[in-house]
């Protein structure tokens, strides 16, 4: 079985690698120091199992597990942590198992055996449920994500939430418009605008039934040739229509004294 170890502590990764080396039919194909690295490695190396620490910088293990559900062939997730209070969140994320540090060899072997018995369809069902939790289609206590993940062919692209300018709905897809390192781009995701609005409340504002705009990227309003009010955005020429039902709230956001 191909395994990835994800933990921000080098000694913890070393200990896990040592324990795994004492077990049969285990091939450690990669190590990651945070959830973002773990996700990208999983995308490239297609492991059968990932040992995923929960508390990590940049992206924690719980969020990484949610993004893993977007992979075409997701690994089985086994969470590892020193904090027992993460158990509920870990199982809410539909991990195969949950290991409390310091991890014992016998307990690790049991978790790996359980994970190895899941076939591809079962692994996909588990991580898809985790992804749905993260996307707001089921009840969850998860924090808002730090990144949005999008499938580009067989690869996954991560977009940091602070880089997102707006979300715009079009049929079954959401366009995510973003800017990063001075370059603008866009990706498509399959999520609901309503769930995104709820997840990122206070950071993005609804300006139309089909659009959410990052408050930090709003520069002002103008009237179009057709007489519609449109929002203008910092750094890009895009202008998005503001619906009448949301105009008052947008005006208050742009000019607080107007309240």
pLDDT interval class at 139 (50, 70, 90):
very low
**Looking at residue 132, what is its pLDDT?**
47
- Encoded tokens for 208: 């139309």
Helical H segments across the chain, by residue range:
10-21, 35-45, 61-68, 87-92, 105-116, 120-134, 193-199, 244-254
**Looking at residue 136, what is its pLDDT?**
43
Are residues 71 and 156 in contact, defined by beta-carbon separation less than 8 angstroms? Answer: yes
Model pTM score: 0.84
3-state secondary structure 76-100: EEEEEECCHHHHHHHHHCCCCEEEE
- Look at the domain 2-134 and name its fold: Rossmann fold (3.40.50)
Place of tokens 């993940």: 149
- For 34-89, how does the pLDDT look when each residue is reduced to its tens digit (9 = 90+)? 999 999 999 999 999 999 999 999 999 989 988 998 888 889 999 998 877 766 56
Cβ-count burial 69-92 (b if 16+ within 10 Å, e if not): bbbeebbbbbbbbeeeebeebbeb
Question: Residues with Cβ < 8 Å from 161, sequence gap 6 or more?
Answer: 144, 145, 146, 147, 148, 200, 203
- For 191-224, how does the pLDDT look when each residue is reduced to its tens digit (9 = 90+)? 999 999 999 999 999 999 999 999 999 999 999 9
The CATH architecture annotation of domain 147-258 reads: Beta Barrel (2.40)
**Looking at residue 255, what is its pLDDT?**
79
Place of tokens 């079962």: 122
**Looking at residue 153, what is its pLDDT?**
84
Kindly tell me the burial class for residue 114, based on how many C-beta atoms sit within 10 Å of its own C-beta (0-12, 13-18, 19 or more).
Answer: middle
Domains of the chain, residue spans = 2-134, 147-258
Residue 110 φ then ψ, to 5° = -65, -45
């Amino acid at each position: 079985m191909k395994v990835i170890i994800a933990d921000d502590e080098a000694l913890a990764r070393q200990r896990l690698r040592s324990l795994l080396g004492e077990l049969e039919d285990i091939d450690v194909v990669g190590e990651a120091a945070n959830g973002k690295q773990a996700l990208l490695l999983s995308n490239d190396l297609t492991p059968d199992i990932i040992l995923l620490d929960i508390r990590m910088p940049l992206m924690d293990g719980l969020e990484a597990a949610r993004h893993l559900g977007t992979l075409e062939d997701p690994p089985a997730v086994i969470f590892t942590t020193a904090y027992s209070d993460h158990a509920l969140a870990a199982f809410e994320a539909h991990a195969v198992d949950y290991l409390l540090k310091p991890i014992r060899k016998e307990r690790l072997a049991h978790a790996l055996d359980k994970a190895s018995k899941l076939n591809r369809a079962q692994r996909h069902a588990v991580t898809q449920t985790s992804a749905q939790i993260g996307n707001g289609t089921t009840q969850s206590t998860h924090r808002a994500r730090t990144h949005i993940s999008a499938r580009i062919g067989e690869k996954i692209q991560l977009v940091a939430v602070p880089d997102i300018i707006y979300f715009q709905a079009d049929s079954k897809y959401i366009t995510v418009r973003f800017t990063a390192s001075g370059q603008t781009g866009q990706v498509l995701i399959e999520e609901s605008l309503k769930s995104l609005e709820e997840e990122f409340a206070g950071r993005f504002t609804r300006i139309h039934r089909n659009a959410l705009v990052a408050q930090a990227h709003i520069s002002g309003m103008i009237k179009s040739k057709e007489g519609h009010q449109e929002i203008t955005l910092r750094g890009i020429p895009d202008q998005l229509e503001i619906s009448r039902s949301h105009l008052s709230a947008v005006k208050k956001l742009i000019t607080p004294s107007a309240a």
